[in-house]
Amino acid sequence: MSFDEKHDLKTFGNEVEEAGLDGQDSMTAVRHADDVLLAKLGYRREFTRQISLIESTAIVFSILTPLVSITVSLPFPLASGGHIGMVFGWIIPCLFTLSVAAAMAELTSAMPTSGGLYYFSARLAPPRWAPLACWITGWANVTGQVVLMCSSDYLTANMIVTALNAGSDGAIKLGLGPTYGLMLAILVSHGIVCSFKTGILARINVYYVILNVGTLLALSIALIVCSGEQRVSAKTAFTKFENNTGWTNDSWAFLLSFIAPMWTMVGFDSAAHLSEETAGAARVAPIAIVSAVAATSLLGWILFIAISFATASIPALLATDFPIPGGQLYLDVLGKQGMLVVWSIMIVALYVGAAAQGVDASRVVFAFSRDNALPGSKYWKRVNSRTHTPIHAVWLIMVLSGILGLLSFSASALSSLAGASVIALYTSYNMPIILRLTSGRRTFVPGPFSLGRWYMPVGIVSITWTAFVIMLCLFPTNPNPNADTMNYTVVVIMAVFLFASLSWIFSARKWFKGPVRNIGEGENVPGGLVEKGDVRVNDSQEVPE
C-alpha cells in the first residue's frame, strides 16, 4: 500500500467518537480511541498518554510565557515606536496570530500526531508533491524548534546576569564568554529535566501557569501604582511615538515592533507535537492551542499597557548597562528588593517554559526521525523503555542549541535568534495551511474542532500575515548594520535551507516518500485490529546508509 493510493482523509473526522469501549471508564475509552485513531494515521502508540486538557494548555502557555517574553523582548517596541510600539505593536500582531492558531488547531484536531505540521503537509499536498512539502515543512519546523530552545536558554542566562548585576549594585558584570558558559550549563540541566517522564513536567507546568499569571497581574498593578510621579499620562502611554531605530521612515520603524509579539507567539504548535502523549488529543490539543494564544494576547497587552505608563524615559532604558532593559525599568519603579523578587520569579518561569520547549522540540525531532528524514534518524527515534521519552532526541536538541548559541557573541544576538525562530516556525505553519486551502480543500475532513465555512477567510488571513512577518524578520533593526550588529537571521536560515535543499536534490528525492507507517495491517491495537485500508501512510522507504 502506498501513500499515493491512500491520500484521502475521508474517514478521519469521527474516529475518536467511534472507538470508545463499552464497560470501560471514560478516560480509558478516550485513550483507546486515541490509539485507534493513531493507528489509522499509521503509527503505533509509543508514549504514555499522561497529558490532560489543563496540562496541555499549561505547556503551550509555558512556552509562550508572556510575563518573561515581554520583559526580554522589550527593546523591540522601545526602539520601534516607543509607547505606541508597546501598546499597539503588541495587540495588532496578536489578533492576526489568532487566525494562525485557529487554522493550526483545526489541522491538529483532524490529525493528532507528533509529526504535526509536516505530517499535515504530507497528507494535504498533491501525491506527486507530498514528499517535498513534507520535507520543507519538517526541516523548517526542526530548525525553528532548535533556535527557539537556544534563544530561551540564552535569555535565561542573561536574566541571571542581570539579577547579579542589580543585586551587586553593578559590582558583578559577566562578559559574553561567562554568559555563554552559563547558557551551556542551563542547556545541560534542561537535557536532564527533559529526559524525565513527560507527566512530571506537565504537572509542574500547571502550577507554573498559576504563578506566571498571578505575577503578571501583580506586576502590572505594581508598575502603575509604584511609578508615582514618574507615571506618564494616558495620552502619552497610548499615543506618543518615538523612533530610536535609525530608520527614517516612522511607519517602517513601527512595523519592526511586531517582532516582539511574533517571537512570543511561536511554539504554540507544541500541543500538536505532544498529542501522542495527550488523552483525547483530537479535542484537547486544538483547545489548548487557541486558549493559550488568546490568554497570552490578553495578558501580554495588560502588561505592556502597564509598562507604557511606567516608562518615563525610553532613551534612558535603551542606554542601560543591563543586558535586558526591562530589568532597569523594574529597578527604577519597584526598587532593588522588589525588582529582584519579580526577576527571580521570571527566571524560574523562563526556565520551566524552556523545559517545556525542550520537550516539544525533542518530539519534533523524534517524529521526523521516525520517518527517517534526519541524518542519524535511527538514534533520534529511539524511545527509552523506562521514561518513555526520546532521550537521544532531547540531547541532540541541546547540543545543536549550544552550537547555535555562539551567536550570543554578537550584539544582535536577540534579534537574530528571534528572527530565525519566527521565520522557520511560521514557514512550517504556513505550508499546511496553504495546502488546506488548495489541494486539500476537497479531501480534508475536520476532527471535533472545525472552522466550518470560516476555514477559507481564516486561512487567507493566516497565510498573508505569516508571509508578511517572514519578510519583516529578514531586515536588520537599523539601516547601517556592521559585522557586530548585523541580523544573522539570514545566515542561520540560509545555512539550513542550503543543506536541506542539497540533501533533497542529491539524495532524499530518490527515497523520501513522506510519513512512514510503523504499524501493519492485522496488528493489534487497543480497541481492535488495524484493518486493510486503515493505514494511510507509506509502508517503507529505503534510506541510504
pTM of the model: 0.85
User: Does the pLDDT value for residue 371 go beyond 50?
Assistant: yes
User: Does the pLDDT value for residue 14 go beyond 60?
Assistant: no
User: Does the pLDDT value for residue 21 go beyond 60?
Assistant: no
Question: CA-to-CA distance for 190 and 246, rounded, in angstroms?
Answer: 38
Identity of residue 192: I
**Per-residue confidence at 545, pLDDT binned at 50, 70, 90?**
very low
Residue 501 CB-density burial (10 A; 0-12 exposed, 13-18 middle, 19+ buried):
middle
Question: CA-to-CA distance for 352 and 331, rounded, in angstroms?
Answer: 24
pLDDT in tens, 448-505: 999 999 999 999 999 999 999 999 988 887 788 777 777 888 888 999 999 999 999 9
Q: What architecture does CATH give domain 4-529?
A: Up-down Bundle (1.20)
**Per-residue confidence at 525, pLDDT binned at 50, 70, 90?**
low
Count of CB atoms within 10 A of residue 25's CB? 8
Judged by average pLDDT, the poorest of 310-319, 362-371, 514-523 is 514-523
Question: CA-to-CA distance for 79 and 155, rounded, in angstroms?
Answer: 19
Looking at residue 504, the DSSP 8-state letter turns out to be: I
**Confidence (pLDDT) at 22:** 45
Question: CA-to-CA distance for 343 and 395, rounded, in angstroms?
Answer: 28
Count of CB atoms within 10 A of residue 497's CB? 17
**Per-residue confidence at 291, pLDDT binned at 50, 70, 90?**
very high
**Confidence (pLDDT) at 288:** 95
**Per-residue confidence at 443, pLDDT binned at 50, 70, 90?**
confident
If one compares 276 and 340, the residue with the highest pLDDT of the two is 340
Who's near 401: CB < 8 A, 6+ residues apart?
146, 149, 150, 153, 187
The percent of residues in the chain predicted with pLDDT above 70, rounded, is 89
pLDDT in tens, 221-257: 999 999 988 899 999 999 999 999 888 999 999 999 9
Q: What is the mean pLDDT of residues 353-368?
A: 89
DSSP structure string for 269-283: THHHHTGGGBTTHHH
The distance of Cα 332 from the centroid of its chain, to the nearest Å, equals 32
pLDDT in tens, 328-352: 999 999 999 999 999 999 999 899 8
Question: CA-to-CA distance for 218 and 213, rounded, in angstroms?
Answer: 9
Domain ranges of the chain: 4-529
Among 149, 193, 59, CA closest to 425: 149
**Confidence (pLDDT) at 520:** 58
22 φ, ψ (degrees, to nearest 5): -65, 145
Question: What's the chain's average pLDDT?
Answer: 86
